[in-house]
A and B are shown apart, each in its own frame.
Chain A
Amino acid sequence: MDDSTIVGLYWKRDERAIAESDRKYGRYCTSIAMNIGNDQDRAEECVNDTWLRTWNSIPPVKPSLLKIFLGRITRNLSFDLVRRENMLKRGGGNISEVLDELLEIVSGADDTERMIEEREIIREIDTFLMSLPRDRRDMFILRYWYCLGISDIAARFVKSENSISVILNRIRRKLRSYLYERGFEV
């Protein structure tokens, strides 16, 4: 079933929307949850919650890319769960490493203004990433959006783990100075 039909089912409050989402994107969402939490039960919980959140969001939201919309919800739910269970220190999945690497990038103020500043940061990060060669951009996203392990990324790009670590390290440093030059506290 194509995405617009699935979104149409949500819009019509037809519960088949959930079964179809699960059939088409269940594996995708579960993999994201596993990358972050590395726990099968928790991953299933997060994916189930993803359908509930989606059911409550559409309408009024109309996602442009349903897959990423669902993936983002799973990513956030998994992260919240890991955080709630205070697993960050214990390092479930790749999350604690990913978070430590992110210490090198971006800082940010409160309220609507803070959210706007956040969005400006996102836009700058987006512009920065678009300036990178495609493979570098994909490595960054696989690591920091999908929380994929270094070894998995290395296998994907047929490179050593060390070289992926070095590349990611360089991207983070470049991004840090890119944001600093644009007035963001880093």
Chain B
Amino acid sequence: MKKEKRFEILGKMDDKSVNNAYELKKANRPAVMRWVAAAACLVVLAGAALGISSIFKKNNADVSDETLGFKTFLAVYPGRTEDEMREGSFLDGKGDPKWAAGYQKRAAKSKPLQKELETYYSRIMEKLIISEEENTVCSPINTYIAFSMLAEITDGNTRKQILDVLNARDIESLRENVSLLWKSNYADTESIKCLLADSLWLRDNLSFNEDTLKTLSEKYYASSFIGKTGSKEMDEALRKWIDDNTGGLLKEYTKDIATDPDTVVELVSTIYLKALWTDMFFSRNTKEETFHGSHGDTTVPMMHKSEMMGVYRSENFTSVGVPLWNSGAMHFLLPDEGVDVNSLVTDLEIFKALNYEDGDEKWSNPMVNLSVPKFKVSHKSDMYLTMKELGMTDLFNKDVSDFTPLTTDTDGINVIKADHAAMIEIDENGVTGAAYTDIAAADGGIFPEEQIDLVFDRPFMFIVTGIDGSVLFTGIVRNID
């Protein structure tokens, strides 16, 4: 390691120690010290705007990957932008200041969209994270992208039902929304990884509409893989693809993924997040303390730090957002005594707690002594009923479903599987999360009328937002082992 690096590392020492050393110094300031009076400063506030050129890397479009043994159309993935390459560590005062301006400008693109998405976020959260006993977690943005892809491969009333759930006027505006979400959130830099990936797994004895596959590739960055559905090879490749794009963090769920020989298309969307706290927690402040879970008390490692934080106090809950480096924040929402944490999920006021608003009396800026347990939560939801309850019913009925934009080779296609799995883990460094949505449609399959009840209450709810305010992950922690 270069000596300059060592100097930078030492610059990150604990604030309190640095302050104490200085205070002591100041109290006994000797005459020999070289203190120089500050000259009057001329401060020019210039918006360091950086033009965004070529967001996406021009590479590997329509590349056939022989190693997979499938005919494949690999999507053109977002590459690192010039401003990302100059990232440095802006918040530390290093690196290129233009980077942050460019990054924030890019991220701001889908900020106005967030208000529109609140209804969807709220509805999907109600279906996926309300439960009676379990810890739960889901990725609303991941399900949004997966359902959007589903809208692309359907038409007529089938598509309209999906658009209604997603609160989109038409397929063009939905496409634009997804494109903005990708551009704002996709990040593959030293300090933040928020990797999105989409794919389609298609049956090889059918012909598919290449225009649709092209749209999915260009607008959704979806790769298409064509092979024998139900085969060991395809199942292995599908599992590997999901594991690769979720950092192997969801293997407990992916190990059971298998395609059906009748499967026409299996649509998969993933998200992987690795974000660091802007100000980390110091491990010497992590203490074994009691967590009062719904199943009783447990001893857990509790992280502590004291910071000035934006605090939102509603009638039912108190919320603080802990910023993530070059990203959004992780918001912790604590229900007031006597308030069921499940009730927060459907309370639209939680979205007000995600964005500071000047003049809103519910916001304050006190010093917060924050205590947050280290935890890891993972959860899998069967979305079959969820999708039906949300209003996407035609998808499940082969007599009325319309998958013509995908293929006209076969009719009677209906959704036979819809799973969503997610995990999240926090520690002194930051947040690691992963999720996938896996929706399969087949001709001739019948979906079992399985009913899953998801109902619960627990000590706190969490929401992880991206730089544009997108809800990347949310969940409820009720017990920690």
Contact = CB atoms under 8 A, between A and B. Distances in A.
B101 A56 contact: yes
A143 B367 CA distance: 30
Given A80-B94, A119-B276, A156-B25, A72 B37 contact: no
Contact of B282 (A12, A69, A107, A126): A126
Interface string B16-41: 11111110110011111111111101
A116 B276 CA distance: 8
B1 A106 contact: yes
Contacts of B282: 123, 126
Nearest to A110: B190
B33 A155 contact: yes
B14 interface: yes
A47 B48 CA distance: 18
A138 B20 contact: yes
A18 B91 CA distance: 17
Interface stretch (B3-11, B204-212, B222-230, B291-299): B3-11
Q: Which size class do B's interface residues fall under?
A: 35 or more
Interface in B278-314: 278-280, 282-284, 305-310
A64 B307 contact: yes
Interface in A60-90: 60-65, 67-69, 71-77, 79-80, 83, 88
Nearest to A15: B45
B465 to A, nearest CB: 10
Nearest to A64: B307
Given A48-B41, A63-B308, A145-B21, A56 B4 contact: no
A167 interface: no
A57 interface: yes
B9 to A, nearest CB: 6
Contacts of B280: 119, 122-123
**Interface band, chain A:** 35 or more
Given A47-B41, A145-B13, A64 B306 contact: yes
Given A4-B367, A31-B35, A56-B97, A105 B6 contact: yes
A107 B366 CA distance: 38
For the residues of A in contact with B, the DSSP-based class is helix
Interface string A150-183: 0110011000000000000000000000000000
Nearest to B16: A65
Contact of A31 (B13, B36, B41, B306): B36
Contacts of A75: 11, 93
A4 B308 contact: yes
Given A62-B307, A108-B5, A127-B283, A152 B32 contact: yes
B355 to A, nearest CB: 10
Contact of B7 (A31, A69, A79): A79
A106 to B, nearest CB: 5
Interface in B92-142: 92-94, 97, 100-101
A91 interface: no
A142 B21 contact: yes
Nearest to B430: A116
A66 B442 CA distance: 59
Contacts of B56: none
Contact of B3 (A49, A73, A99, A125): A99
A62 B11 contact: no
B30 A155 contact: yes
A87 B204 CA distance: 64
Contacts of B97: 52-53, 56
Contacts of B44: 48, 52
Contact of B92 (A31, A76, A129): A76
Given A64-B305, A76-B8, A7 B41 contact: no
Interface string B397-420: 000000000000000000000000
A11 B308 CA distance: 12
A103 B6 contact: yes
B329 interface: yes
Contacts of B28: 156
A105 to B, nearest CB: 6
A34 to B, nearest CB: 5
Contact of B94 (A47, A57, A76, A106): A76
B254 interface: no
Contacts of A65: 15-16, 19
B30 A52 contact: no
Given A112-B193, A127-B284, A11 B17 contact: no
A102 B32 CA distance: 25
Contacts of B306: 64
Given A15-B45, A116-B429, A126-B284, A61 B13 contact: no
B466 interface: no
| Residue of A119, A134, A185 with most chain B CB atoms under a 10 A cut-off | A119
Interface in B209-244: none
Contact of B365 (A62, A116, A122, A185): A62
7 contacts: A12-B358, A27-B38, A72-B93, A79-B7, A137-B21, A138-B21, A155-B31
Interface of B: 1, 3-22, 24-25, 28-39, 41-46, 48, 90-94, 97, 100-101, 190-193, 274, 276, 278-280, 282-284, 305-310, 323, 329, 356, 358, 365-367, 428-429
Nearest 6 Cβ contacts at the A-B interface: A73-B93, A26-B38, A76-B93, A141-B21, A64-B307, A155-B30
Interface of A: 3-4, 7-8, 11-12, 15, 18, 22, 26-31, 34-35, 40, 43-44, 47-53, 55-57, 59-65, 67-69, 71-77, 79-80, 83, 88, 95, 98-100, 102-103, 105-108, 110-112, 114-116, 118-119, 121-123, 125-127, 129-130, 134, 137-138, 141-142, 144-146, 148-149, 151-152, 155-156, 185
